Structures are given as C-alpha cells and as structure tokens.
A = this chain, B = another copy of it.
Amino acid sequence: MTAEIRIALDAMGGDEAPTVTVQGALEAVKAYGMEVILVGDTDRIEQELGGQVPAGISLRHASQVVEMGESPSNALRRKKDSSVRVAVDLVKAGEADAVVSVGNTGAAMAMAFFVLGTVPGVDRPGIGTVMPSEREPFLLIDAGATVDCKPVHLLQFAVMGDVYAQTVLGRSRPKIGLLSIGEEASKGNELTREVFKLLESSHLNFTGNVEGKEIFSGTVDVVVCDGFTGNVALKIGEGLVESSVRMLREEIRRSTLGKIGYLLLKAGLPGIRKKLDYSEYGGAPLLGINGVSIIGHGRSNSKAIRNALGVAKSSVEKGLNRTIENGVRRTMEEVALAT
C-alpha cells in the first residue's frame, strides 16, 4: 500500500470551530482513510479530542486565527501564524498533499494563491461550486476568485471545470455551457462573445451559451462565467431561497391551515431536502492553484467537512492538477492554431 494521503485542515476556521472541524476530521479518517493534520490551537483541539489523538490524526500548532470578517490583504500581511496560513504552508513544504478550510474564504484564497501560485500554464484561479439541479448537480466556475477576467481566463476555467467534472464528479465528456443572456453566439457581452469563439476552437464538449433560466434544470455539467457574475449568481440564488423560506415561515405562522400543510409537506419530501443540502457536495475546490485547496461555507457542519476532506483526497489521488496542466496546455495550443 502507498503512503496515506495527508490533508491539512484549518481546524480553527468556520462558525463552530474547532468542534465541527475536529468531528469532521474524525469522520473522514473513518470513512475514507487518510491522515488529517489538524492545524490550530493544539490545546483546544486536544480538548475536543478528549485528550487523546487517535490514529490518522496529527496536530500542528498555529497561534493565530483569521476572523470571518477580516480582509484578505490584512490576513495575508499580519496572520502568518494563523491556522489557515500554516495549513497552506504545509502543502508548500510538501508535508501535506492538500489543504481544506471552511473559514474566511477570501483569506484562504489569497493565501493559497500567494503561497502556492498557480498550476503551470494557468493564469488565474477559479472557485468551482457544485450546485443542485433537477437532474445531476453541476459545477459553476468561477464563483468569485477572479472578478476581472480576460477571455483566456474563462477558457481556462472551462478546462478546469471539465477536468473536475470528469475526475471528481465522474462525468464522461462533460457538457460545458457559457453563462450568458441568450443562446445565440451573438448574445452576451464583449467578454462572453470572445470566450464563445475560443471555446468553439477547443476540444471541450462546448454546448454553447446557457441562460440562468435553464442551469437549474441540469442541461450542462459545467457553467463557465467570470468571478463577479458567478458570485452574484450564487448569492442571488442563496438570497432568494433564504428570503422565500423566511416569507413562507412568517405567513405559515399566521395560518393554521398553512402550518399543518407545511409540516406534512416537510415530512413527505426527504428527497428534495437532500438535493438542496449543500453539505452533500463537500466544499468548493479552488481550481488552478498549484496544490489541492478546498474551501467551504463558514456554516459547514461535520458532514460538510468530512465530504470536503473526501473531495480533497480524491482530487489528489486522481492527479487533478496534473490533468489540469495538460488540459490547459492542449487547449491553449488548439486556440493558438485556430486564430
């Protein structure tokens, strides 16, 4: 058997750290078999572990914590001994194969980019987010890593999304859609019209523009967009769901009929709840970083953390970054030949 995969987990990141991070690590070791390095305040982590460090778990001390509201640039300058930074440094030093953090997303991203750089040939990283649809989940990339994009950045996001959909989500020949505001090649803005041409000259299974209206029906495996649009899209979706639920609850409180209906409906629909449960999808890969990095929601529970660790392991095992490197090289050649 080969040496076990080692994953550095930012144990202090997230709303209920280190309780849920430690719990998630224990579940992941049991479920997938890996070594998890818990990085953070070792006293508090040992306390969570009940004074005993079980097999598959090791500890690494870090004296600082990056808070949720802290600016990434501040964290980068002043938090060099923070749990997330030390976890990233372990990857750089070759002591860990991947890093997982569910803390401050911007800080984790900035540190990974600054310390590890990008995969050779990749210009900018992109956050991939797995989202539910009526059929299979799809990957949206970029969800906010690179907000001002050139056409080539989106082309590379498409390659990274293609590789991730194949290697981690298990899709063969993933359908790639470009997020735009109409199906025809001529629809969209200057950026998407350029990207459309590039995608057409690549080997990718590019199916054309997709509109926000159709992505949740599950017509494509990968939705490509710039980080500004992707982040707005993601948060619009979140906000709409949260506001609808609040409005529904408010009105249900005022109606007995509604109250009974809601309870029956809730009991009757376990499947839809599972489908919309973000913790099933195991965090968001920060793709294009030279070192596997998975980031997750600050509200992650232990299942979400376990799944994020599982995704990290499988990304390492399947040589995600090497495949991205080859894919990007191939695509850049195809595009150069076509122009």
Q: Which A residues are within 8 Å of any B CB, using their own CB?
A: 71, 133-134, 144, 147-148, 179-181, 184, 188-190, 192, 211-217, 225-229, 231-244, 246-248, 251-252, 255-269, 271-272, 275
Contacts and interface: CB of A to CB of B under 8 A. Distances in A.
A269 B248 contact: yes
A236 B238 contact: no
A232 B267 contact: no
A233 B232 CA distance: 7
A58 B213 CA distance: 38
Contact of A255 (B148, B262, B268): B268
Chain A contact surface mostly: helix
A248 to B, nearest CB: 6
B261 A264 contact: yes
B212 A238 contact: yes
A181 B147 contact: yes
A274 to B, nearest CB: 11
Contacts of A265: 252, 257-258, 261-262, 265
A213 B190 contact: no
30 contacts: A71-B184, A144-B181, A147-B181, A148-B190, A181-B227, A188-B228, A189-B226, A192-B228, A212-B232, A212-B236, A213-B242, A215-B239, A216-B242, A217-B246, A229-B229, A229-B232, A232-B233, A237-B240, A247-B272, A247-B275, A248-B269, A248-B272, A251-B271, A252-B265, A252-B269, A257-B268, A258-B267, A258-B269, A260-B264, A261-B261
